[in-house]
Structure 1
Amino acid sequence: MQSLAFSTATPPDAVLAKFEVCHTQDLEEARRWGERIFCENRLRNQDRQASVDTRIYYRRLGGIGVGRMSYGSDITIDPGVLDTFALIQMPIRGEEVIEFGSRQVCSTPTQASVINAHLPCRIHHRKDTEKLIMRVDRSLLERICQQHLGRTLQKPVEFLPAMPLDTAEGQRWMRMVGWIYDNLSNDEGSLPPLLAAQFEQALVTALLTCQPSNYSAELCADEGQSIAPSFVKRVERYIEEYAHEPISIVEMAEHVGVSSRSLFAGFRRFRNTSPMLYLKEVRLRRVHEELQQSSAGSTTVTAVAFRWGFSHLGHFTTDYKRRFGESPSDTLAR
């Protein structure tokens, strides 16, 4: 059964036909390709009498990856936690059951599934199932969410795992998916950076607006009701400019001419955080950016952390990993 919501010039079962990366009857080879594209995983064939016939079509574009894949048998996929990306799965036919702890989502041609970047899962792929997939880097997702909100995020973006495709939002999402699949299926050359960035922005914006998440209320709020007072924005700019220096609440309040109490109240109401937590988030982001731009031989994690005011390395490492999905030493080694 084909999803009624998916409509493109390219038939769904011909999507990315020019970009086949794997066709194998070997389960271990299929696992290695899954690891190459996604992450470490374990595959188990639940029907030992049936042969595996894995096909993967995949194309990477900046912070997103699009694909079409099938296994040809009843397969259980155990990827653990997708630390660095979110995964949207849209069956063309058949179904998958995705376990999130004690919860389950049945992914079908009329209901896609969203696997968040920080929650453990297990996927039960049924025989004769074929699916379209969208891989979205966690860093891209959070960067665009931050752009729309006009502030840094205090928690990872977390979507509801079930995505009905027979709703207005679901159909809007699938029109966007169809547009992107059409373009990437038929254009074999490398895309200009500006066009690639447009695809990234459009896809992630559609995901953030079409699929409910822990930031939906704020993203969809009436702008007139959610505009923060000017002093909140001025303090944010102050923090961005002087994050490398010791900053106190008193200094922030004096800079904008309000009381410390008003400053706390403004951040709590309009940013759902405190000024000092905002400062900490900005400093974590600066550490991340500096580690990305440095080499392991030119500096150390300790030196960069101390430079941005993190004196307790244990707490810093925990906060960094929670925020970016990897340890600071992994970022530096990349």
Structure 2
Amino acid sequence: MTDSPPVWRTELSTRDPDVAREAIAGVCGEHRPRFRGNRRDFRFAMRVVRAGPLAVHRAAHTMDAWTESGPHSNFMAVHLVRGRFRFVDRERELLVPAGGVGRYPLRRSVLHWVDVVGTVIQVPLEQVARTADRQVEAPPHGFRFLGLAPVSPAMSDAWAHLSTFLHRLSVLPDAGLDQPLMRASLTDLIASTALAVFPNTTMTASYVPEPRRVAPSVVRRAQAYLEEHAAEPITVAQVAAACGVGPRGLQAAFQRHLGHSPLAYLRQVRLARAHRDLVAVDPARGATVAGIARRWGWSSPGRFAVAYREAYGEHPSETLRK
């Protein structure tokens, strides 16, 4: 396994608006909000979890607040559980009601919120752009987001569900966020969902034409590469570059020769490695099914158990007890 930076967590609860203002500035950089309302009834609570490029912010506080923010180099989106949130930049304004979703403007803007509880998800914009490049031809002026609001109510709900899942996952002390495979999987999930939820240039770009045919020997080289690097975060683009072909050509070749994608093959390899660990480790020393599953990139113990039973005919806990 590759070395992994620690998960960084911070929590604060206060009734002092000045303490809250400094805490927000410390976490969010240029966010130095001004508050308006009854200081005596003020409540503020914040939890921030950072795991590599991924960050999950959860905040709850009373009173009106407004601040100038940006420009940002990261993609950020808020899911509001309570209250109201308003973004205003040079050309656009977005009001996010309770239950709603909105994307932070990348350029300088003004944020205003009232009595809120909400979750902000943050990943590097370059990660989203790389995911976009894998899907379509690069537009003439490069990838960019085109709007602050989701493209539809259904897509707003999709982001709200993802935000709720990430918030619940981030509060678990053993969620596996320290595992590089878990972080890579979650970051890719966020980027892919962002491209489906918020208007962007991939929705108007031309799709890549059919790739040239790739020889079976290239597929075998790709399989060897995936097996050698299974313990590391891997993208299809990395595998394709190592084999001297394009990502879509490699995808098509895997489907043609094996009937599934390179990442599906990688999941099979990682499932086999998890099986090997379950057989080899001693449960008396504290090894758990969930811990081994997270080590090999499975964020859901339930989905891991289903896949494991399909492959090996028994529950992973049975293998561990043996």
- TM tier relative to shorter chain: 0.5 to 0.7
Count of residue pairs brought into register by the alignment: 204
1:36 paired residue among 9, 26, 30: 26
Return closer, same or farther for 1:217/1:47 CA change in 2, 3 Å cut-off: same
Letter in 2 for 1:123: L
In the alignment, the residues of structure 2 paired with residue 168 and residue 131 of structure 1 have an alpha-carbon distance, to the nearest angstrom, of: 19
* Pairs within 5 Å for 1:142-157: 142-149=129-136, 151=138, 154-155=141-142, 157=144
Partner of 2:209: 227
The reply on whether 1:74 has 2:64 as its aligned counterpart is yes
**Compared with structure 1, are the counterparts of its residues 152 and 170 closer, same or farther at alpha carbon in structure 2 (3 Å cutoff)?**
same
* Ranges in structure 2 where 5+ consecutive residues have no aligned partner: 1-8, 213-322
Matched, 1:184 2:183: no
Give the corresponding residue for 1:175.
161
What is the CA deviation profile of residues 274-326 of structure 1, one whole-angstrom value per residue up to 9, with x for unaligned ones?
Answer: xxxxxxxxxxxxxxxxxxxxxxxxxxxxxxxxxxxxxxxxxxxxxxxxxxxxx
For 2:63 and 2:200, the matched residues in 1 are separated by 33
CA contact (8 A) 2:54 2:183 kept: no
Q: Does 1:99 align with 2:83?
A: no
The amino acid across from 2:170 in the alignment is L
Q: Which residue of 1 aligns with 2:282?
A: none
**Partners in 1 of 2:135 and 2:119 — Cα distance?**
27
One-letter code of the match for 2:25?
A: E
When residues 144 and 39 of structure 1 are mapped into structure 2, their CA distance, relative to the original with a 3 A threshold, is farther
Q: Which residue of 2 aligns with 1:23?
A: 13
1:89 paired residue among 63, 73, 78: 78
Please point out which of 158, 161, 167 is paired with 2:148: 161
Any idea what SS the aligned residue of 1:55 has?
A: strand
Task: Give the aligned partner of residue 265 of structure 2.
Answer: none
* Cα contact 1:88–1:113 (8 A) shared by 2: yes
CA-CA distance at 1:31 after TM superposition = 2.9
Provide the aligned C-alpha RMSD in A: 2.9
- Counterparts of 1:1-334 in structure 2, within 5 Å, are 21-47=11-37, 51-79=41-69, 81-101=70-90, 103-117=92-106, 119-127=107-115, 129-149=116-136, 151=138, 154-155=141-142, 157-163=144-150, 167-188=153-174, 190-218=177-205, 223=207, 226-227=208-209
SS at match of 1:173: helix
Other structure's SS at 2:62 match: coil
Alpha-carbon contact 1:173-1:210 (below 8 Å) kept: yes
CA contact (8 A) 1:116 1:159 kept: no
Instruction: Give the deviation of 1:70 after TM superposition.
Output: 2.0
In structure 2, the CA distance between the partners of 1:170 and 1:49, relative to structure 1 (3 Å rule), is closer
Partner AA of 1:135 in structure 2: Q
Q: Secondary structure at the match of 1:126?
A: strand
Whether the 8 Å contact between 2:151 and 2:198 is mirrored in structure 1 is: no
Between the aligned partners of 2:158 and 2:77, the Cα distance in structure 1 is 15
For residues 180 and 81 of structure 2, what CA distance do their matches in structure 1 show?
30
Corresponding letter in the other structure for 2:163: V
1:229–1:192 Cα change, 3 Å = closer
